[in-house]
Structures are given as C-alpha cells and as structure tokens.
Structure 1
Amino acid sequence: MTVPPSAVGMGSRSADRRLGGTRSAGSGSPGSSTDPDTAVSDGRVAHIDRLLGWVLALCGVVIVLAAGSRVRLTPAQFAPWWAALAFGTVGILLVLVVTGRILPNPWLRVLWISAVVATVAAQATVFAGYTGGDPDTLRPWVWALEPIMMCFVALLARWPVVLGYIVLSPLLPVLSGAVFLGRIPHEAMLQAPVHLGNGAFVAIIYGIRAGLLERERVAERNRRISERRAQARSVAERQQVLARIVHDEVLSTLIAATRLPGEPVPELRVAARTALQALERAAAGPGASAEIAVHEAVERLAAAARRCAPGAEVRIGAVRGAEAEAVPGAMLDAAASAMSEALRNSVVHAPGSRLRVRGRLDAARLRLTIADDGPGFDEGAIPEERLGVRESILGRMRALPGGSASVRADAAGTVVELGWRR
C-alpha cells in the first residue's frame, strides 16, 4: 500500500519565576497562567521588564540630580575610592538610561546586578570611606538610591530574595558604623526604619508589572480569537466549495451510474448506490445513526471489504455470544469507510499483492486489521494535500469517540489497524 540566541536570553527564562510570570506551567508564581490562550510570551515579558528597568534607571538619575549639593560634596567628604564607588553607580544608571531600550536582555541584567552590587558596597563601607566631620550627622546621598535597587532586585530574583534585600539593605549603614566606627551613628540609627519603608516601591513595581502583563494577556487572547475566526471562515469557505462540487459533480455522476441504460457493470451500480447512502447518512448528521445488531454489522463490514477488494481474504466475525448485541451506527460507518479507503489504497498502489482483512466485533469493541504484502510506503513523505491515509483512515477513526487507528509499513508490506472501544 503506497502513496506517493535572541535578545530575550536570560531575562525571558527567569521572567516566569517572578510575580506575574505566565510562561511556565509549573512556576507557581502569583498571577501565572497555564492557559495557552492567555499566556504571555517570553519575549513580551522581557520587553515589559526592559521598559520597567529603563524607567527605574531614569528615576535613579533624577534622584541623584535632586541630591544636588550633597553629591558635589562627595569628593571633599569621602575617600577617593568610595567616591569612585558611588559615582560608578551613577555611571551604570546613565548607561541604562542611554542604552536600556536597545541592549540585549542578558546585558541589561548584568548592569542591573552591577548597580545593586555597587550600591550595597557603598552602603556597607560608607563609614570606612567617610573623611568629613561628625559621622552622627552623616546622611550620604547614595542612600536615596535604595528604592531603585530594591526594584531592580524585584526584576532579577524571586520574592524571598527580594524580601531579604528589603529587610537587610537599610541595615547596611548601621552595620558599617558598628564595624568601622565601633558604634552606630545617630543619623544612621534614625534613618534605618525610614529606609525600610522603601519596600513599598517594590509593591508598586509589582503592581505596574502585573497590570502590563494583564494587558498583554488580553491582547494575546484577542489575537488568538481573531486567528480562530479567520480559520473558521476559511474552513467554511472550503466546505462551501466542496459542497458545490459534491452537489454539481459527484452526486450527478453517482445518480447517473445507478440509472445507466443497458447492462452496466453490476459492481458500478452497487458502488454508486453505497456512496449515495453514505452521503445521505453524512447529511443526516451523527445523531441520525441508530444502533445496529452485531451480526448485521459484521455482514456490512464483510460486504464492504469484498466490494472494494473482491480478491481479498476476508474473515470478520462476531465475538461468541455477541451476535444479538448492538453497536453504534456512526461507529460502523466510520470503520467501514476507513477500511474501504485502506483497501482501495492497496488495490491501487500495491496491485497483485495478497490482501487480508481480519476483524472481531462485539457491543463494546471492534478490531480490524487490513494487511498486504506490497512494497510499503513512507507516511512522512505523503504530501499535505493527500488526505487518504491522513484523514480518511487515521483522522476518521481517531475523531470517533473511543476510536483508534495506526499504520505500519515496511518492505514486507503494510498493516492498517482500526479499533474502537465503547
């Protein structure tokens, strides 16, 4: 039987592990979605994170500019190495503002991490680098960048890490004073609880991110709905064209074949009458098929097999004691049509081969095997437009509730197995 590395990178893979992630079915993050119709692609999640990171960097630069005189006094009040560390953080923010909309996502993550690390280092060593007057009154401008860094961490890590950073980062100046001064400066003690409140900015960035993701979900759902409507229209148009062909060409030909004058080939009339009956049943719909006795179903299957391949060895029988039981007519029609298509393929594409049809049937199950000893075929080589094996055999049986079908082909021949279970 024969018949002829992207810009998303690291950010996209980690995005589904944070609040609002939607890609991974098992991420377990709040707001996640496993529905493919509403899932946001990795690329869109990364785009949202990129936009948020750029806005955060811009806010960081504005904060530094607002600090004004305190920034200008840094070289006079701090050691050069600490000033370099603090201004290095500002430099990273400026790079993010200028290139944050175009850099590959992995590079953005590196810059976000670098900004956080530089800020942490500046806070942890602030009293080691301080060379000014009374440390009890010191309030370095770099502290003002804490909410920005907290939000960067929210884009980079899971919420337990974010929570840990929110709690620990305001304590870094306190620890710096305890380590490098041997005591906790007064202003650092007063500012620690205030800076702990910066965690509210993380909640805000999470809320903005969740809102943007929801907007993307709605857009994705609408896009898929539009695609399905277009596909449905296309299918309806193809069905309409097919219906016209069937009405204008196929039906007229079949009717003419049943009414030919003289002595036409008997098999032609039988085949035409059978095809007309099949079309009538299909037009009546699946609900029109009644239950059919097993013994009658066996006779119909055997007759259909002999009609399509008169030389085939046909052995189809009922399971002992099941003759009086009944099977769905829709199942019988589908199995008979799939078997007939398989036999026609063998007759056309493996002429002269030995054809065998074996089957067993009762009220709860059917098993049919159609085998030949032809040259076989490669199922993967079947063109998409050829529907015989793909749709008329496999598709028809697999679409049947409880139905199954498989095709095995090699140099020894082809075996088609059709099955059904109630």
Structure 2
Amino acid sequence: MPTVALPRDVAAAVVVSGLSTAMRAVAIGGTALTVVMSVDVVLSAGLDPLRAPIVAAPAVAVLLLAALLLMLPSRATATLYLAAGGVAAAASVVAVVALAEQGDDPFILNRVATALPLVGALGGSARSGVRWTLAALAVSYSALAVGWWAVGTPGPFGYGPLIVGVVSLTGFGLLAAVRYRAKQRVPEFLAVQRAVLIDERERELQRRAAAAVHDTVLADLAVIAMTVGTVDERMRDHILRDLDAIVRPTARRVSSSTAVTAAPAPLADALLELADHYRWTGVSVQLSGAEELTAEVPAPVVDALVGATRAALDNVAAHAGTGQAELVVGQRDDAIVLLVVDAGVGFDPDAVGADRLGLRESIDGRIRTVGGSVRIWSGDEGTTVMMRVPLGARDE
C-alpha cells in the first residue's frame, strides 16, 4: 500500500522534537537524583535530618517544572521553567551553604542550575533550541550569582550548566546546519514531479479533446459538406448538442475553483485542480503523492479535504510570507493523510483568537465533520498542517 513520505521540514521537526523530549526526560532524571543527593549530603554530615527536606525542596520544584514542560511543551511552560527554575537554583545555593554546610563543592551547589539548559526546543525548530539554550545558560549562571550574593560570600560556580549547555547547543546547531545544507543542495524533486503530473494530465485532456472533436465536430462538418441546401432543424439540434458536449468540459477546466467543489471528481484530480488554481494567487503549490492514490474516497470526504486544503493554502498566501507550499497526500493505515507544508514565518496555534474561524471551522471543523483529525506544527521554520481521515468516513 502506498505510504506518505514526510517532507524534509516535517522530518526535521520530528527529529528536533524527539531530541527536546529526550533532554527534558534527562532533566527529570537528573533532578530526581539531585533530590536524593541533597538528602544524603545532610545525613552524611550528621546534621539535623529536618534540614534535608529544605535542602531538597529547590530540586523538587525543578523536577515538577521539568515534568510539566515534558507534558505541555509551549512558550508559556518553557518561560515558567526558566523563571521559576532560576529562583530555585538561587535558593538551592543558599540552602546548601547555610543548611548543608557545603560551600566549597560546586558539584552539589549547581545541580539544580544544571537542569535548566535542558529546556529543549519549541515548535520543532532547531534555531528555537539554540535560543532557549542560550537563555537557559544566562538564567543558570545569573541564579548562581544571586545565590552567592544572598549568602554574602563568593563561591565556586562550577562548569555543570556550561557543559550541558554546550552539548545542547552542539546538537541543535548540527541539526540546523544539516537542514540548511539540505535546503541548499537537495534538488526540488517535488517541483519536477508536479510539472510532470501536470504535463501528463494536459496530454490526457488533449487526447480526450481530440477524440471528442473527431467524433462530433468533424463528423458534423462532414454531414454539412454533403448536405444540399439548408440544414434542417433536426440536424441543427444534433450539432448544438455536440457543441455543448465540447464546451462543457472546457468550462469546468477553466473555472477550476468551482469545479473542485462541485464536480464529483476523484480526490487526486480535485487536488491537482486546486494546486493548479493557486498559480494565479502567487503561491506555487508542489503536489506529490496524488498519482499513487488508489482507494475510492467518498464524496463528503473529498469535499472536506479539498475545502480544508484550500483554507490552509489561503492562510499560506495571506500570512506565511512565502510564495511556495508543499502538498503531500497518500494512503496510510487505511486512512487518507494530507499535509500542507510551508517554510514561512510560522505562528502559535494556541494564540489564535476564538473569533478567527480559519483554523477552527474551515480546517479543523471540516475534517472532524467527516470523522478525521487535524494536527498543526508551526515554528520559525514554517508550518505543517496534517489532516487524517479514515477511509469510509461519512458526513453526519
């Protein structure tokens, strides 16, 4: 069964998101060990055991923040993680020095601050990961400085946050460099494929048109040439019917914006018509996967997918700030999967107002009506809208 090959932008976003998830999981594991170490430091020094919960409290706070960030990665939770984590890192220095009496061991002093550079990236953007890591490094060492200032005596900062930050920056930097080189060196095969598909379809239309002309107009002209005198009413009606049969498909071909929704065309033809239509809106749409569609898609599903795709492409034309978009369609797990990808400025889907109906009704609402689902990835490197509708889904 044909499958959907993810575009380069989507594949890169998946890798970045996976790396970020792993980093946040490491932050959870590291802070959990810090909690245990804090308790052990107090008990090993023979101090009052009641001091242990206070010393471990900053690490517990960062542990909970890291878990929240792992479950709900967003700008809000990442900002909360760094802001509250910075306060916890400063408090940890004060607690370790004042209560655990460990003022000369940077390994213990900066354990909480070391977790902050593991904040990861947002929106699947490697550049986002670089920016958040740099911000986390600044917060980490600022928090350590504030902690020592609160204690009243200068002490060691250690290299823990710096080492973690450098490793994180290296990972995100390599991903950003690989994506940039891929964009520069990999040919745009999708553009070539789309051109071939359009050329093949045009040739098929020309062949059908030639056959229609041969069977109607040429035959009618031959009859007229052999007719002596005027053409009778019956022959005139026959010629008019033939002319109408020739004109009607041409009109549907020219008026592609209406044919996509009104004509009962297969999904592949409807998407090809839609992609061809957007040439005149300033957006070049690269379509792939349509030639591999073999399943019969119900008419309500075709209407919903084409309508939602048109709304997504309208958003690209109006807001993305780019003149190109990729449209990928295919069959996967007994469902139709359709992706609209652009490399524009991106946006925050959670920040879209309730009064803006483009995403909620024109895209998500249409797809949910036929039993499907919509997922959106958006960041500094573009936006991807993925629509998935199970085969056999019907309008309510």
Both proteins in one fold, TM over 0.5: no
TM-score (norm 1): 0.41
TM-score (norm 2): 0.43
